[in-house]
Structure 1
Amino acid sequence: MEHSYIDLDEETLFIVSQTFKALGDPTRIRILHLLAEKECSVGEIVEHLSLGQSTVSHQLRFLKNLRLVKSRRAGTSIYYSPEDEHVLKILEKTIQHATHD
């Protein structure tokens, strides 16, 4: 099957590079990996990953701006979950690659 090459526009290139930038940070990888398992509040992420609240909040803002996580409010708490299954699949495959014997 023959494919014709289509050049990527600037917006697509920017989004792809920002997504890889997001996945290039160990803290963001840990947060995404946790959220792939279950929806969590900031406090739960802080507790599970032994990180500071300001660090978690900063990283969630970064991930939310890239539409990699989404949030929902329940009373006074905000819960975070993955927004993009495509990126989670990339992360999962990369983890499998890294842990493969």
Structure 2
Amino acid sequence: MSFVQQVRALLSRRGMSVTELGDLIGIARPNVSATLAGRHDARSNTLDALAAGLNAQWVLVPNEHLAAVRQVLAGKGTGPDLEAPSAAEMFVKARQ
């Protein structure tokens, strides 16, 4: 999914319009629309502002990790089991 597609998806999830996003970040709606339509190249500070206005971050993902990141974003990836005891906790418990 491209950056622009992600911005559009976040706009939808956040229930925001392009105008509301523009007002929030201080960029005129026509300029936000032009950026999202690919009619001009956006500067990095514009991309930072778009992400911040959507309460998000934009990051570079190395291609070798892209499949794993996509799975996590789709809710299909696995992460650490935060409920599992740590090695130190297991060690202390075994010594008791």
Tell me if TM exceeds 0.5. no
Which one scores higher on RCO, CA 8 angstroms, separation ≥ 6? 1
More strand, by proportion: 1
Q: TM-score, structure 2 length as denominator? A: 0.28
Q: TM-score, structure 1 length as denominator? A: 0.27
Larger radius of gyration: 2
